[in-house]
Amino acid sequence: MHHTQGYLHNLQNGPDTVENPGSTMMFRMKAATILSCAALLAVPLLHAEAGPTFIPDATFSGSALAGWHTLGSASWKANDGEITASGGEGWLVLDKPYQDSALYTSFRCTGPCNTGILMRMEKRDEGSTGVMLAVEGDSLVCYRVMIDANGKITSKTALRRAGGQARYAPPPPPPGETRPARGVPPPLPPPPPGVTLMSHPPRGLQPGWNQIEVLLDAEIIRAFLDDGGGEASAAAENMDEYGPMALYVGPGSEVSFKDVAWKNIAIKSHPDEVVGAGFRMQRINEFFYGWSAAAADFNHDGKIDIVSGPFIYYGPSFRDSSEIYPNEAYNTSTQYPAKDWIERAADFNGDGWPDVLTSGRGVGADLYINPHGEMRRWKHYHVVDSIFGEETILRDIDGDGKPELIYTSGDGYISYAKPDPKDVSAKWIIHHISERGPWPPHGIGAGDINQDGRIDILDAEGWWEQPAAGADSGPWKFHPVPFGRWARTSAGGCDMAVYDVNGDGLPDVVTTLQSHGWGLAWFEQKRDKATGEISFVRHDVMGMHFDKNAGGVSFSQPHGTAMADVNGDGIPDFIVGKRVFSHLDDFYDPDPYGPAVLYWYQTVRDPKAPGGARLVPHLIHNRSGAGSDILATDLNGDGRVDIVVATRSGTYIFWNEAKGAPRTEKAAKK
């Protein structure tokens, strides 16, 4: 059966699984365990920069508590932006009410840590009620609390687990019934013996200052400790409540708060549309069919066409299209693409006609055979079963002149697959180039790192050196390098670029650091003159919104990337975009509703810059973003690199019309 529907979030099974309608297959969505609100804080991830993931409406500063009032017996004092509470049980209540809101703070406990944050504090006849995120020892617990006129908690009821990748909780089970336990993904395999990978920070509350971010959106309250993966997520049950937020100190505790910041997340901002200088936008589809696009002359008319999702868009106008498999648009709020997370084009069966290969996390890869220009749906074959990575790439790894599919497999390997020469429609031949390990689902790349004439493979944890004996000669030598960063979810970017950034003759690496977080960096290759040993120095380009960022540009969810010479100066550039609703329409990911930006970063070689180069951002568009990858190719033969993205809001072409000389050898000869 050919499934065309999207992957709907399965509320009963929780955030770690999604289900394909019409199929019993379930697959793992993320490596970090999502905790219920009563669970121990057992899996925080590596700290990124400390600060809120949202741009605050306000941040507390100064030594006066203007705009706040107290309730209870605790004493509250402020000094130079730091608030200290002690002496009993009590609340520091913001005067302004909210419904959907976010609050961030650093906090430090002296002695027992009995503290928390209250959201939607609403007055009732018997006192006040609200949704509380409590820090109790090493635990995060979500409660519905009742508070009397003296600030004492008179009752608290633990809220049921809910949330994950949703903003509306399923109804509670009928009295006397229980809902089946959610699916728990199997643990990742351990690192290979003797290999050190990116480590998680110490677990639980740490001595000194900790950071917590709480978001209450619609029916779901979720919280993150130290920007870690120990998420607390629960059903608030009543999304109609409205009231202020408050800081809490419990009896016998002394707690200090600083960097207190908050935001009304009910307001979503939509910037005026801007198309960057030198580009013209053409929107060829307005619906959500997939996250990727590829280009080839599919009908042999001498013009480049685009395939994205189920459609081929025929050049040069790209106004006409036909489907290669039955089309069905996905719901932009609640669905994932079924299979076309990544779409590639190449002549896989050697008949001279370009075919299409789609791949998706948990569903593997499907090959669509070109019917030689006939206007019909294409025959398709399931050629790879197990894919764990969200990105796959095509490269000629073994030097046979044909591209192979490079990916992270579902059984814990970095692998490549190639067609069976006897039958391209049969399951492809798979070669594992790594030892079995906990290789992340984000970030994959290929390039000749050590300049030995053989293509090497990269992921967020490092690079594998292709042996002289050939690509299929067993596990390759692994060189650990942290090309990513852990935060709330797993480390790693998208399509990792390998090129000489600073002009010193050595291949460097450019990559986003976390597809579902923040960060863009280039890694300068260093080579020991005596031993030839290779190492890398990281140069940050973009971090969180409060960091020093190139051009002042910062955005989260940099899930789609590509390398291409955009301005025709002979030096590759890096293209990156935000995947809006990177998971679904909720606050599971940081800053999910920020502008859907698409940028190209110009590689500028500058001896005065750190590492000898700068990556300078230039806006392409601020209302499209990117999907899981970006297509950068010359669509009309003018020598300029055009850009195509497939996103939740449609499929876009950005025609490169910057003035200047032809930019490819082909165009120069016209």
The region of weakest confidence among 19-23, 279-283, 591-595 is 19-23
Q: What is the mean pLDDT of residues 91-113?
A: 97
pLDDT tens, position by position, 391-422: 999 999 999 999 999 999 999 999 999 999 99
Strands of the 311-314 sheet, one edge to the other:
294-296, 305-308, 311-314, 320-323
Mapped onto helix, strand or coil, the DSSP state of residue 312 is strand
Give the count of beta carbons closer than 10 Å to the beta carbon of residue 196: 10
Share of the chain above pLDDT 90, in %: 79
Q: Which CATH number fits domain 31-264: 3.40.920.10, 3.80.30.20, 2.60.120.560, 3.40.190.10?
A: 2.60.120.560
Pairwise pLDDT comparison (504 vs 668), residue with the higher score = 504
Amino acid at 210: N
Helix (H) or strand (E) holding 666: helix 665-668
User: Cα–Cα distances in Å, from 444 out to 416, 483, 561?
Assistant: 11, 10, 11
User: Cα–Cα distances in Å, from 408 out to 155, 460, 503?
Assistant: 49, 11, 31
Q: Please, which pLDDT band fits residue 608 given cuts at 50, 70 and 90?
A: very high
pLDDT tens, position by position, 432-491: 999 999 999 999 999 999 999 999 999 999 999 999 999 999 899 999 999 999 877 789
Task: Report the distance separating Cα 38 and Cα 57, nearest Å.
Answer: 30
pLDDT tens, position by position, 525-574: 999 999 999 999 999 999 999 999 999 999 999 999 999 999 999 999 99
Domain residue ranges in the chain? 31-264, 279-668
Helix then strand count (H, E) for the chain reads 1, 48
**83 is written with which tokens?**
């608030």
**123 is written with which tokens?**
């007055």
Please, are residues 383 and 365 in contact by the beta-carbon 8 Å criterion? yes
pLDDT tens, position by position, 490-536: 899 999 999 999 999 999 999 999 999 999 999 999 999 999 999 99
Mean pLDDT of the chain: 90
Amino acid at 528: D
Task: Report the distance separating Cα 6 and Cα 166, nearest Å.
Answer: 15
Q: What is the mean pLDDT of residues 302-322?
A: 98
Q: How far is CA 599 from the centre of its chain?
A: 16
For 258, phi then psi, to 5°, come to -150, 170
Mapped onto helix, strand or coil, the DSSP state of residue 550 is helix
pLDDT tens, position by position, 616-629: 999 999 999 999 99
What is the CATH superfamily name and number for domain 279-668?
Answer: Integrin alpha, N-terminal (2.130.10.130)
pLDDT tens, position by position, 193-252: 999 898 776 667 888 999 999 999 999 999 998 876 557 899 999 999 999 999 999 999
Q: Please, which pLDDT band fits residue 665 given cuts at 50, 70 and 90?
A: very low
pLDDT reading at 7 higher than 60: no
Q: Please, which pLDDT band fits residue 170 given cuts at 50, 70 and 90?
A: confident
Mapped onto helix, strand or coil, the DSSP state of residue 650 is strand
Give the count of beta carbons closer than 10 Å to the beta carbon of residue 13: 18
Beta strand ranges found along 427-514 (DSSP E): 429-432, 444-447, 456-459, 462-465, 477-480, 495-499, 508-512
Please, are residues 649 and 623 in contact by the beta-carbon 8 Å criterion? yes
The pLDDT value given to residue 417: 98
pLDDT tens, position by position, 633-654: 999 999 999 999 999 999 999 9
The pTM (predicted TM-score) of the whole model is: 0.91
pLDDT tens, position by position, 50-88: 899 999 999 999 999 999 999 999 999 999 999 999 999
